[in-house]
Amino acid sequence: MKFRIPIAVGGALVMMMATLVGGTAANATPAARTTGIGTNAVEQYRIFVHTANIDGAGTDATVRMKVYGTLAESPGYINLDNAADNFERNSNDYFGPFSWYDIGRPDFIGVYKGSNGSEWYPEYAQIYAYATNTWYNCPMNAYYGDGEETRWFDCP
């Protein structure tokens, strides 16, 4: 038995398959929205880092962070630096706001410390999502030595 698909239906099917497989829908940059939650939304985030209050906890090294969410991830490792003397003992450092495609709920973070400074002991980081008015806590409690190092921390 042969099946025949009318040309109009077959053409639509071919166009749908081309869109899904060929790249227009699946691989194109999502259309940006300024409000709402979803994979196409552009949202703003702020990063907060607290350095522990113990001897030798502070550093002048380069620190970068990547946020991995349930929907997406931040674009590369974000350089955490501003006009303040960041990452000193018992300091609270705020960075951003950053505009990223909606990453969903932050799941874990990657934190890089360069070798251009001393040791560092970050106690925790927090990610603030403006769209949901929510802070996400990422406990770190980690000792970074003098060298270059990247570690990953859950944001439960």
Encoded amino acid at 144, one letter: Y
What is the SS3 string spanning 11-51?
Answer: HHHHHHHHHHHHCHHHHCCCCCECCCCCCCEEEEEEEEEEE
**Would you say residue 13 has pLDDT above 50?**
no
Q: Where are the domains of the chain?
A: 1-30, 42-154
Rg (CA), the chain: 22
pLDDT at 8: 42
pLDDT tens readout for residues 14-38: 333 333 333 333 333 333 333 344 4
Superfamily the domain 42-154 falls into: PLAT/LH2 domain (2.60.60.20)
What are 140-144's contacts with CB under 8 Å, separation 24+?
140/111, 141/52, 143/119, 144/59, 144/113, 144/119, 144/120
Average pLDDT over all residues of the chain: 81
**Measured between alpha carbons, how far is residue 102 from residues 18, 32, 57, 68, 150 in Å?**
26, 10, 33, 11, 24
Nearest to 122 by CA among 82, 77, 88: 88
